[in-house]
Amino acid sequence: MPDSQEQITAEIVESHRVYAKAREESGQESRHVLRDFAPYRSSILRHPKQPLVVAGDPEAVELTGPVFGVTDVTALDSDLTRQHVGEPMGERITVTGRVLDRAGRPVRGQLVEVWQANAAGRYAHQRDDHPAPLDPNFTGVGRCLTDGDGRYAFTTIKPGPYPWRNHVNAWRPAHIHFSLFGTAFTQRLVTQMYFPGDPLFPYDPIFNSVPDEQARQRMVAAYDHDLSVPEWSRGFTWDIVLDGAFEGEHR
Amino acid sequence: MNPTPSQTVGPFFGYALPFPRGGEIAAGAGALTVHGHVFDGAGQPIPDALLEFWQADPAGGRGGAPGTLRRDPVNGAILGRHGLDFTGFGRVPTDADGHWTLRTRPPGGRPYIAVAVFARGLLHHLYTRIYLRGDVADPLLDRLTPERRRTLVATEERPGVLRFDIRIQGDEEHEETVFLDFS
Ligand SMILES: [Fe+3]
């Protein structure tokens, strides 16, 4: 018997309460996600139970990372509305921002990959079989390289929320999946960008797997009216900060 | 600066992140095959995991090279590595049986291939290492108990073919893979 939303929400609230208490007592803020977050049922058997082992090797191979170049992307990759013969259905948006390391330096010339559902909340993926229409003019995959300021930019359509089977009446808030590379393999990040003011936030175990409220807000883009183009598109900005040690960090 | 939190790759990355020959960092004479399964805490194979590999080139260089995806500017198709440069990067989704295969050349310098593990249900990716042989002095291996150390060392099935299973969570019968912290 799948769980009710009430049960999941109660678990989320309790987990956040435990975190808030620990934060108050220790003064320590958690800036990351919890891998062991039972309200997201699939995480129960898919997180390590042993503590991570600190690598602690200044010569570790992971302190450098893969590089990408102009041969790895094409011009159409960053405009998800132009990858087919016709126009996709939905609300045209632009999403832009800077990729920074934890020292605040721009991450230049690195690969940013995105994927998302269409305006109806359906992925162009065989395993997404819920009864919302596929859009023949929208695949929902994009790539670009960050520029000299660490900036990425995509044109796409606003994805719809979609149902999933974590519990009864589970709906994901609208989101765009982001995959990012830094200058070191340790800085690798896969995350999700959310849209401001989504009413589904309190119900979603994945969004709420980040226990700290301020950290959760770092996954939410801002609407930027100056980026909106008259009679064409609405603009959103979202900066991304990569964590993890990297070679040359302390220079 | 405060980092952006991680979120799971979810179940639908398969049409976005994997690419043809993503697991062929190097091919031809001198290449070796490393393969294995990814398992969950019930000992079940994970069919929706994604593995990424990063390694030094055979001479020990850690600069990598662009061109892992190399695109056809005419139709946008992925042509993949041209085979002259050693890009050092590979990406492989597990198949329906939770199995993956990597073809590459042994790295120079440190004797391991770095691995990042992503999966539906995994909220933040995990780092581990494939040591191609166990009889080496290494600052990480030397700090581990024999049981834990074994999870990082590939076993030779036959010449040129190595086996390396990843257990995201251990169970009664199996040791959990050692995962690393680089914060
Ligand atoms: Fe999604």
Strands, sheet with B49-54, edge to edge from the N-terminal-most edge strand: A53-54, B180-181, B126-131, B112-119, B49-54, B89-93
CA of B136 to the centre of ligand 1 (A): 42
Identify whether B54 is part of a domain.
yes
Over chain A, what is the mean pLDDT? 96
pLDDT higher than 70, residue A251: no
Q: Quick check: B1 and B9 in contact, CB under 8 A?
A: no
Identify whether B25 is part of a domain.
yes
Does residue A251 have an active-site annotation? no
Architecture of the structural domain at A5-47+73-241: Sandwich (2.60)
Tell me the pLDDT tens digit for each residue of A134-149: 999 999 999 999 999 9
Identify whether B181 is part of a domain.
no
CA of A140 to the centre of ligand 1 (A): 11
Say if the Cβ atoms of B14 and A125 lie within 8 Å. Answer: yes
Q: Quick check: B129 and B54 in contact, CB under 8 A?
A: no
Task: Give the end-to-end CA distance of chain A in Å, rounded to a whole number.
Answer: 56
Q: What value does the mean pLDDT take over residues B131-139?
A: 93
Token pair for B61? 């260089």
pLDDT at A127: 87
- How far apart CA B125 and CA B51 sit, in angstroms, is 10
CA of A175 to the centre of ligand 1 (A): 6
The nearest CA of chain A is from the CA of B40 a distance in Å of: 6
Token pair for A143? 């790539």
Identify whether B179 is part of a domain.
no
- How far apart CA A34 and CA B85 sit, in angstroms, is 39
pLDDT band (50, 70, 90) for residue B28: confident
The widest CA-to-CA distance across chain A, in whole angstroms, is: 58
In a 3-state reduction of DSSP, which class is residue A9?
helix
Supply φ then ψ for residue B35, to 5 degrees.
-150, 165
Say if the Cβ atoms of B122 and A47 lie within 8 Å. Answer: yes
Q: Residues 32-61, chain B: which have Cβ within 8 Å of A?
A: 40-42, 44, 46, 52, 54-56
pLDDT at B68: 97
Strands B32-39 and B166-167: what pairing? parallel
Q: What is the DSSP letter of A79?
A: B
Supply φ then ψ for residue B38, to 5 degrees.
-115, 130
Does residue A130 have an active-site annotation? no
Identify whether B121 is part of a domain.
yes
User: Where exactly are the structural domains of chain A?
Assistant: 5-47+73-241
pLDDT at A250: 59
Tell me the pLDDT tens digit for each residue of B47-62: 999 999 999 999 999 9
Task: Give the end-to-end CA distance of chain B in Å, rounded to a whole number.
Answer: 14
Does residue A172 have an active-site annotation? yes
Identify whether B182 is part of a domain.
no
One-letter-per-residue 3-state SS of chain B: CCCCCCCCCCCCHHHCCCCCCCCECCCCCCCEEEEEEEECCCCCECCCEEEEEECCCCCCCCCCCCCCCCECCCCCCECCCCCCCCCCEEEEECCCCCEEEEEECCCCCCCEEEEEEEECCCCCCEEEEEECCCCCCCCCHHHCCHHHHHCCECEEEECCEEECCEECCCCCCCCCCCCEECC
Strands A234-237 and A222-223: what pairing? antiparallel
Tell me the pLDDT tens digit for each residue of A37-91: 999 999 999 999 999 999 988 899 999 999 999 999 999 999 999 999 999 999 9
Query: What are the Cα distances from residue A82, in Å, to A85, A160, A173?
Result: 7, 19, 25
Interface confidence: ipTM more than 0.90:
yes
Identify whether B66 is part of a domain.
yes
Q: What is the DSSP letter of A102?
A: T
Q: What's the CATH number where B36 sits?
A: 2.60.130.10
Q: Quick check: B37 and B119 in contact, CB under 8 A?
A: no
Tell me the pLDDT tens digit for each residue of A139-176: 999 999 999 999 999 999 999 999 999 999 999 999 99
Tell me the residue range of the domain where B160 lies.
5-167
* Residue A209 identity (one-letter amino acid): S
Q: Quick count: other Cβ atoms within 10 Å of Cβ B45? A: 16
Identify whether B175 is part of a domain.
no
- How far apart CA B102 and CA B58 sit, in angstroms, is 16
